[in-house]
């Protein structure tokens, strides 16, 4: 088929240029007006299929965020250290750098990202690069570039190279007109943050690429995720991490949400477990491409009461951040994750008491906690 072969050669030639003469970097397949699947089936490179290797070759973008390092650790235990590449645009800490393969990867640089996938024979891609809710509202142009333009690059590369792609979504993908208690998988979604809008966009584009090009796209809507080994990163639910650090360091905590603000939450181990489970689930078991997952739902007041069982002298005050409160008031109070539990057997391990006990055990005890116990 000379026409197809000539198209393939044209793609390879275009990859050596900086774009299409319009002053910006443009994905070659878009310039040619052909589908990613068409290029993938005829291009000269070789993409490793799952039957040709014992384990997937994994790339994690935005890997230095809250979830990336923990996910890399989990996947390396399962698939081998050298089969999981962590990437970001920031310099990693020494313990992260020496724990396994790490490379620089800018998702806005299409050519660099494509080279990484080809050179490392990537078969699974976890796309964690994103600006979170409160940070995104402070810099909408940057959030639009990272969360939307970066996603487009990832989708095209994943479709072109027949990757299995995971993109996390969020409670922020819902808005004030969505049902809040509980929020089902399928309902009206009209978020009012650039973060939420970009995540709805990711859900729909991933589903479109699945049906249009056969992309193996998988997505989970995360609740607020709580972990002990990362600092709060600008999310609306980050108060639920900050309270533990403040309880240990100062014995005082000022919450930026109202005490009765109920939101769905999850301990990071449950979150990572769910992510691996949905990626390993047989395609025929998935009735949809985006699922809610949850473990518990609580308010700042309920969390503070549980924390005070370990640190009785903890003083909690409230100074409401208007922006964060408005965001939280538009989000679900409880997630309906019955489809995930039915389709691929999702089951959480941590409720609120277990979460609090585990957080303190990881963060370490000082005299206040020792005395309390």
The parent domain of residue 275 ranges over: 130-371
Q: Is 88 helix (H, G, I), strand (E, B) or coil?
A: strand
According to the model, what pLDDT value does residue 53 have? 53
319 is a domain residue: yes
Question: Which CATH number is 243's domain given?
Answer: 3.40.50.720
115 is a domain residue: no
The rounded mean pLDDT for the chain is 85
- Residues in a beta bridge with 315: 252
260: DSSP letter: T
Is residue 195 flagged as an active site residue? yes
pLDDT class of 188 with cuts at 50, 70, 90? very high
56 is a domain residue: no
Those residues with Cβ within 8 angstroms of residue 134's Cβ, 6 or more apart along the chain or in another chain = 234, 235, 236, 323, 324, 327
5 is a domain residue: no
Residue with tokens 């319009």: 22
202 is a domain residue: yes
Q: Which of 98, 110, 128, 195 is catalytic?
A: 195
171 is a domain residue: yes
By DSSP bridging, strand 169-170 and strand 216-222 are parallel
Instruction: Domain count for the chain, please give it.
Output: 1
Mean pLDDT across 259-275: 97
As a dihedral over the C-alpha atoms of residue 235, residue 241, residue 246, residue 247, rounded to 10 degrees, the angle is: 150
By DSSP bridging, strand 164-166 and strand 84-88 are unpaired
Q: Is 169 helix (H, G, I), strand (E, B) or coil?
A: strand
* 74 phi and psi angles, rounded to 5 deg: -65, -45
Those residues with Cβ within 8 angstroms of residue 16's Cβ, 6 or more apart along the chain or in another chain = none
146: DSSP letter: I
- Give one DSSP letter per residue of 10-77, joined into a string: HHHHHTTSSSSSSSS---HHHHHT--HHHHHHH-SS-PPPGGGSSS--EEEETTTSTTHHHHHHHHHH
Instruction: Give residue-wise pLDDT tens across range 288-312.
Output: 999 999 999 999 999 999 999 999 9
Q: Is 266 helix (H, G, I), strand (E, B) or coil?
A: strand
pLDDT class of 150 with cuts at 50, 70, 90? very high
54 is a domain residue: no
172: DSSP letter: G
12 is a domain residue: no
According to the model, what pLDDT value does residue 269 have? 96
């Amino acid at each position: 088929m000379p026409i197809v072969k000539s198209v393939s050669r044209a793609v390879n030639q275009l990859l050596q240029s900086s774009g299409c003469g319009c002053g910006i970097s443009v994905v070659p397949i878009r310039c040619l007006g052909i589908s990613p699947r068409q290029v993938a089936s005829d291009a000269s490179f070789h993409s490793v299929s799952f039957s040709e290797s014992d384990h997937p070759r994994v790339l994690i973008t935005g890997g230095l965020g809250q979830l990336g390092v923990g996910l890399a650790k989990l996947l390396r235990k399962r698939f081998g250290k050298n089969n999981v590449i962590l990437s970001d645009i920031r310099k990693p800490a020494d313990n992260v750098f020496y724990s396994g393969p790490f490379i620089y990867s800018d998702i806005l640089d299409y050519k660099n990202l494509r080279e990484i996938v080809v050179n490392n024979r990537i078969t699974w891609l976890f796309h964690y690069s994103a600006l979170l809710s409160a940070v995104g509202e402070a810099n909408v142009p940057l959030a639009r570039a990272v969360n939307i333009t970066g996603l487009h690059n990832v989708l095209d590369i994943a479709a072109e190279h027949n990757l299995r792609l995971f993109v996390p979504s969020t409670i922020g993908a819902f808005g004030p007109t969505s049902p809040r208690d509980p929020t089902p998988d399928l309902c009206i979604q009209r978020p009012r943050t650039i973060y939420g809008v970009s995540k709805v966009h990711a859900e729909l584009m991933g589903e479109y690429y699945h049906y249009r090009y056969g992309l193996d796209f998988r997505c989970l809507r995360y609740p607020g995720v709580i972990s002990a080994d990362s600092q709060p990163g600008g999310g609306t639910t980050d108060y639920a991490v900050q309270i533990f650090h403040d309880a240990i360091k100062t014995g005082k905590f000022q919450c930026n949400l109202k005490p009765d603000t109920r939101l769905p939450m999850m301990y990071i181990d449950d979150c990572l477990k769910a992510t691996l489970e949905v990626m390993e689930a047989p395609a025929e078991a998935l009735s949809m491409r985006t699922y809610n997952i949850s473990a518990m739902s609580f308010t700042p007041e309920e969390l503070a009461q549980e924390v005070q069982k370990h640190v009785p002298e903890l003083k909690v005050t409230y100074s409401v951040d208007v922006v964060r409160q408005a965001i939280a008031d538009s989000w679900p109070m409880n997630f309906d994750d019955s489809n995930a539990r039915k389709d691929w057997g999702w089951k959480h391990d941590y409720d609120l008491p277990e979460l609090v006990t585990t957080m303190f055990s990881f963060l370490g005890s000082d005299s206040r906690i020792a005395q309390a116990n």
